[in-house]
Structure 1
């Protein structure tokens, strides 16, 4: 029976054409080591790819569960996780019939968090299968929920928890959407999704295109097939839709094909996927500007993220530096004339920037928009000041202080404008963050001077006075502290005159409390904090009460304030993620972590009520503890070690379910605070236990870990002479950090190589140790030639090591000289090779004698003098 093509959602199996993505998907599922995510624009066949895999690979022992996320915005967090489990059961009821009864019973009395309950239910399902593959389609719909981070955190955790629950090795995930998981995650510090493997679903190549035409049983001439491929470039949806049109056409030729495509796509532009692409471009000025740059051949102006955005919109294909519009149909639908008309009709560009910075906190997007505006060179003088201010703000909040200063200092200050005042304030805070008190004070003083000379009443000028006080307090300088005291007393006194910004008063009292604390006037500091608390908003009270708690000594007083803190948190349903740069008293994630750490560690009487406040950070108490630990570690808080040790202790309790990454963070926090060898060894043993791999911890501080590993290998080699364990430490270092180009890491690598050399000296034959010593000295020379901006103490430490190696190499050479050289005259020409190279050289013996003695090179043979041309 002849095949009949019809418009359909799911491609019939007999017409399905496999692509590289199918093979990559199968490989990921076979390996079961990490989640895959299919990254592709709409109407490219991703759902068919997923369903094809399910239909072809599923059996009674290997279960595939397809879940469509397009309606998740109607689900609560609890319903979402339950829906995933319920879908697995409902679609495979005969397999999971018994599991269903167990899960239904457990749900009735469960007090577990949603994520822990989900893990428990997954483990129950895994009892009945050899492989469970969840296929999550349309993951971009998670952007509409407030629990997207928890979904990705759970997926990530399911892989790391394999250390504790081996059955999770039978579970894997495949995700699919038109947006990367990292772009859905709202707080990557809490829920980094860095373990997935991308699957790119590309257009048909010519072989795949011909395979589809063959399967469709369409009788097309070679010229028509060539022309059809020219128009679609293998786009599956377009190829299918055009073939539906062609199957009933008589006497088809290239002219008729062109006419059919013109009528179908270009008369009203309402056919899939052109309608979707045009709608996206009409709403997104960044896409439009990128396309205009592409039309003008300015490919270098497009960064990788912008190329990715164009790709996911279904507009371009790109590889490395080559980027082209997908096909002539897309190109004609997005003509330059149409793009320019949209540009002229668009709303204010700077409004989008403002929204990106202050509403959505998407600073990278703001930077892209602003730098695009600068490249167009069309901004007016006033707009240029705003652009520089917004760029300064965006770079400041992405901790790129030098770039922030570059743009803030480009603001034209010939006239006093709002941008000038805001720029001075922001520049001052940049310098505060850099501990540059002198320049910070100059910036704040510029605004204070503007206020005096113009009589202007402006919140940013008032805030500059507090910024100045804060800079002086941070300096710890006694003279500046006294000046800060006078400034703050004067600022607060103006309240009676009604001439200052009232919302700033709590902060003024708080800063004055800090001055009093620095001066050891604790009672006065407490009085200022009480004044601040009395004037503060509900959002500010938790922070101020916490500051008071830290100053109190009596248990009764501390307990009373702790109760007030908990009361102030009772009405909270969520907490803002404010940057440290905001210099606000409002409760944010950072302050909440400090508060909860203090209460957990030092107020055991609140043990039963603390879990409800942990949910402000995460539904999972383990994830919440991890967030607290990371916050304490990053901010170098005094409670960091104690809290990390608490996590390590709790991880041994069956009632707690910490992930591998949680425990890793705790070990790291302990050693970072103590620098004790016993803590380094415990950390190393944990890394060995979980088969540490840097690819699973890509954001780890490599410098810190390498320092720790060097401490460990030195202990085993030089203190207890356990060379076998020492070799294991060296291998772990080499496997994970051996290719790192960071100068500090390379410095640590040389220290590690010294330990490796010592192992060879103590355990191997002299000539093997001699070779390793030579390689070490050559590495040192290379390092010294390339290193820049490294702490002199690190270099000096290495120099003493190098001196020891050189002395020992000479001892080996002299003790075993017959093994290395024959008798050569000083002017004899010899063929040599340095042991880190494959290149042979001819040198006079006297020129390489020292290198030979140090083991850096070897003599291959002496040259025949009679053959030399002199």
Structure 2
């Protein structure tokens, strides 16, 4: 060796490139063109070189490589860059289309994704080659305002192959350090879950030896072993160590295992400023979960980390692929760079779980707050820091996170231990409201009564307001009379105080009084009280109260006036949608759904679409469609037990936005909502259309969990309504059966039961038996979970009876001495007398082929 081969470089020379399993998997995925490849990999693992090598390899194809760390101002600029890059990179193929595309850009008014779709198909139709678009650093796209539009468009392309065959010659390769589920942030858009994951792993020992051979680096077996012991095949670390050894060899040094140790210490374990150690240490320093997971791995407690943490560790470059079983730090360099002592120093210098819990609570992230608080509660050294006030905050975090039992447990402890009268009054208020949220209205009243009689007037007022709700919803006539008396007393005292700050409480009290009068069927008093609430309400309460007014008004003119006022206050003010801790009088999506439906009924299509446009602009992303807004509002209304509102809104969505021009994804979304949340009278039709559309346009392996869950729900509803379409739907569902049982086992097992019942009813013996056995196999994993055990037990008995009945009939004509042909396992069929194999047949040890 006379000159350096392993010089520092970003792109590995082709003569030094070593193919790994990921190269072969990527080659297969691209050849199949069935779905996008998603290369999920930590930094400094050779990802970019993998992609460049693939581009070199596919010289007969059109391969466009784009680095997404280069940002654009808008979705349109991003999409146009892809088209322009294709034309500039392959002028011989696409130059003739450039002028046509530029002309269309000047005159067309298409949305960015529609323009991109048309121009991409124009380019594809002009060639007969495969086109591969490589999007590297895909996680950089997630931070852009237009990321969801781009990713949804990529996803949609694979479904559009049904209509546009040229897309069968196009595929994408995405690469980055974010899980596919994290790519699309808007929950109203289907998640990006269609990619084939490819994990780019470290060199195996044989691949490392191939690298040494290609580089011409001549080192002894003991030195080779020492390098591999330190790097364990990490490409970047391996290259850097070998590059240093090469330089020493050229300087005439004798290379020994000790030389390797010195090299590693010099490169990685002194200043910690070399990749990938520098990046990994920064991640560990900033992430408590990662630090805790590293300690857990070191002390053989890796089973305590969930899949999200495992993914974090892999993408940080700390562990190998999470599918490889037991978690281990991936090599000695990283292990020593992340020493226990260093981690302890970081943890000691950073915030403890109580502070982190408080910060999460203050920002409204109650799930995170609960995690930190639970860590603090289990730490003996923090017991003295958990004061009664802190314990109340922990209880509130539990309450807002939906765990009322644990919330009350914390409130009870704080109340028992505290000597602070005001705090105890506050605790009783929170205790009562938690019980209300759990619909335990009668149980909440003694706690709220105690809080309402306390010294702090603000706490007392809030307790009385909640007590009105508890009395009214208890369903007790005596309590409703008590609620009316309390509301009158409360309003009187608030009017006497007469300060602007009391308007929120006053408007709330008047609203509750209105609902009490309605329960007592005192209509005029209800209308008057609600008008008082509207007059006094702050701006953010007015939309809710104006729509509440609609249900009290009889005159269409009055109803229209309320709707006009609603639209005006929405249009002229910046009003935020309510959060989980906000007043019940804040604006929510169910209120908006009611307003839209009433606007259509009273003011017609034009006003309906006008209001829909205002709502879309005020409360949704610019990329949202009108149909997407309507389905989202309908689903929210349905979840809030306003099913009639949801159904009415979905009927309008179907009427105005379900047509041949609708995209496949849009159709599926609308059909899905109609099938699960639409009018009961038309559910059957929509359920079948939804399943047919899903079957026609979505391959089984690409169906996401939301579609599976919705398909299961639709079929169960069809069965319960005794619809004639049930069995058509079941035939379609079988296409997705395997996927359904994986992603939604509980509901899918019920569908297996429905199929079993159907096949049994039509006397299809083999199918009935087959699905009975499938049901019994899958129910084993579910008994005692989710649904009541006794329900599963009843269904099990029915399936067992079907098996018993059909199997008894199957063998009833066989005499004990009848000769039968049976087969055991993989052995050749053999002739036996039935009496000798009867038990084996019934216990499935052998298969009955036929009677002789």
Q: TM tier, shorter chain?
A: 0.7 to 0.9
Q: Is residue 128 of structure 1 aligned with residue 137 of structure 2?
A: no
Superposed CA deviations along residues 808-849 of structure 1, whole A, max 9, x for unmatched, are: 998x68xx954566699xxx9764247674237xxxxxxxxx
Gaps in structure 2 of 5+ consecutive residues: 820-833
Return closer, same or farther for 1:572/1:352 CA change in 2, 3 Å cut-off: farther
Instruction: List aligned pairs for 1:160-309, cutoff 5 A.
Output: 160-183=159-182, 185-249=184-248, 250-309=253-312
Question: Does structure 1 retain, via aligned residues, the 8 Å contact 2:42–2:314?
Answer: yes
**Offset of residue 201 of structure 1:** 2.0
Residue in structure 1 matching 2:445, options 431, 441, 448: 441
Structure 2 distance, partners of 1:561, 1:107, is 44
Return closer, same or farther for 1:292/1:803 CA change in 2, 3 Å cut-off: closer
Partner of 2:640: 635
Q: Secondary structure at the match of 1:322?
A: coil
Structure 1 distance, partners of 2:63, 2:815, is 65
Partner of 1:456: 456
Question: Does structure 2 retain, via aligned residues, the 8 Å contact 1:713–1:752?
Answer: no
**Offset of residue 227 of structure 1:** 0.7
Instruction: List aligned pairs for 1:80-91, cutoff 5 A.
Output: 80-91=78-89
Superposed CA deviations along residues 663-699 of structure 1, whole A, max 9, x for unmatched, are: 3323423567337644544444444433574851313
Partner of 2:829: none
Partner of 1:648: 654
State how many pairs are aligned.
816
Structure 1 distance, partners of 2:183, 2:802, is 54
Superposed CA deviations along residues 558-596 of structure 1, whole A, max 9, x for unmatched, are: 3333333333333568955x5556444333555445544
**Offset of residue 753 of structure 1:** 1.0
Segment drifting more, 397-406 vs 119-128: 397-406
Residue in structure 2 matching 1:698, options 693, 698, 705: 705
Residue in structure 1 matching 2:386, options 371, 383, 388: 383
Question: TM-score, normalised to structure 1's length?
Answer: 0.81
Q: Is residue 613 of structure 1 aligned with residue 615 of structure 2?
A: yes
Instruction: List aligned pairs for 1:545-560, cutoff 5 A.
Output: 545-560=546-561
Q: Secondary structure at the match of 1:66?
A: strand
Question: Does structure 2 retain, via aligned residues, the 8 Å contact 1:44–1:201?
Answer: yes
Q: Is residue 707 of structure 1 aligned with residue 735 of structure 2?
A: no
**Offset of residue 253 of structure 1:** 1.4
Q: Secondary structure at the match of 2:197?
A: strand
Return closer, same or farther for 1:489/1:713 CA change in 2, 3 Å cut-off: closer
**Offset of residue 282 of structure 1:** 2.2
Return closer, same or farther for 1:488/1:26 CA change in 2, 3 Å cut-off: farther
Question: Does structure 2 retain, via aligned residues, the 8 Å contact 1:21–1:199?
Answer: yes
Structure 2 distance, partners of 1:419, 1:183, is 41
Question: Does structure 2 retain, via aligned residues, the 8 Å contact 1:670–1:679?
Answer: no
Partner of 1:325: 329
Partner of 2:823: none
Structure 2 distance, partners of 1:655, 1:305, is 39
Question: Does structure 2 retain, via aligned residues, the 8 Å contact 1:142–1:148?
Answer: yes
Segment drifting more, 828-837 vs 185-194: 828-837
Q: Secondary structure at the match of 1:64?
A: strand
Question: Does structure 1 retain, via aligned residues, the 8 Å contact 2:121–2:167?
Answer: yes
Question: Does structure 1 retain, via aligned residues, the 8 Å contact 2:672–2:690?
Answer: no
Q: Secondary structure at the match of 1:199?
A: strand
Q: Is residue 746 of structure 1 aligned with residue 749 of structure 2?
A: yes
Q: Secondary structure at the match of 2:417?
A: coil
Question: Does structure 2 retain, via aligned residues, the 8 Å contact 1:706–1:745?
Answer: no
Return closer, same or farther for 1:111/1:288 CA change in 2, 3 Å cut-off: same
Q: Secondary structure at the match of 2:219?
A: coil
Structure 2 distance, partners of 1:295, 1:421, is 47
Q: Secondary structure at the match of 1:133?
A: strand
Question: TM-score, normalised to structure 2's length?
Answer: 0.83
**Offset of residue 125 of structure 1:** 4.0
Return closer, same or farther for 1:121/1:784 CA change in 2, 3 Å cut-off: closer
Question: Does structure 1 retain, via aligned residues, the 8 Å contact 2:290–2:313?
Answer: yes
Superposed CA deviations along residues 597-616 of structure 1, whole A, max 9, x for unmatched, are: 54456531325533353243
Gaps in structure 1 of 5+ consecutive residues: 718-722, 762-768, 841-856, 862-870
Q: Is residue 75 of structure 1 aligned with residue 80 of structure 2?
A: no
Partner of 2:831: none
Structure 2 distance, partners of 1:343, 1:166, is 56
Q: Secondary structure at the match of 2:134?
A: strand
Q: Is residue 838 of structure 1 aligned with residue 844 of structure 2?
A: yes
Q: Secondary structure at the match of 1:752?
A: helix
**Offset of residue 226 of structure 1:** 0.8
Partner of 1:662: 669
Q: Is residue 466 of structure 1 aligned with residue 452 of structure 2?
A: no
Question: Does structure 2 retain, via aligned residues, the 8 Å contact 1:39–1:200?
Answer: yes
Structure 2 distance, partners of 1:431, 1:758, is 47
Instruction: List aligned pairs for 1:230-629, cutoff 5 A.
Output: 230-249=229-248, 250-317=253-320, 318-319=322-323, 322-359=326-363, 361-383=364-386, 392-393=395-396, 396-399=399-402, 401=404, 411=414, 413-415=416-418, 425=429, 427-449=431-453, 452=454, 455-458=455-458, 462-495=461-494, 496-497=496-497, 502-570=503-571, 576=577, 578-580=578-580, 582-589=582-589, 591-599=591-599, 603-607=604-608, 609=610, 610-615=612-617, 616-618=619-621, 619-621=623-625, 622-629=627-634
Return closer, same or farther for 1:44/1:782 CA change in 2, 3 Å cut-off: closer
Structure 2 distance, partners of 1:294, 1:102, is 59
**Offset of residue 521 of structure 1:** 4.2
**Offset of residue 345 of structure 1:** 1.5
Structure 2 distance, partners of 1:350, 1:555, is 56
Structure 1 distance, partners of 2:507, 2:378, is 43
Question: Does structure 2 retain, via aligned residues, the 8 Å contact 1:516–1:522?
Answer: yes
Segment drifting more, 263-272 vs 485-494: 485-494
Structure 2 distance, partners of 1:90, 1:625, is 41
Structure 2 distance, partners of 1:196, 1:633, is 32
Return closer, same or farther for 1:402/1:538 CA change in 2, 3 Å cut-off: same
Pairwise CA RMSD of aligned residues? 4.3
Q: Secondary structure at the match of 1:570?
A: helix
Structure 1 distance, partners of 2:246, 2:342, is 33
Structure 1 distance, partners of 2:701, 2:425, is 46
Question: Does structure 1 retain, via aligned residues, the 8 Å contact 2:293–2:305?
Answer: yes
Superposed CA deviations along residues 704-755 of structure 1, whole A, max 9, x for unmatched, are: 23414646997369xxxxx9x5883574475555678856653443332121
Q: Secondary structure at the match of 1:324?
A: coil
Structure 1 distance, partners of 2:209, 2:739, is 45
Superposed CA deviations along residues 288-317 of structure 1, whole A, max 9, x for unmatched, are: 333333344433433332232222222223
Partner of 1:31: 32
Q: Secondary structure at the match of 1:173?
A: strand
Structure 1 distance, partners of 2:430, 2:122, is 54
Question: Does structure 1 retain, via aligned residues, the 8 Å contact 2:357–2:371?
Answer: no
Instruction: List aligned pairs for 1:752-767, cutoff 5 A.
Output: 752-761=755-764
Question: Does structure 2 retain, via aligned residues, the 8 Å contact 1:684–1:712?
Answer: no
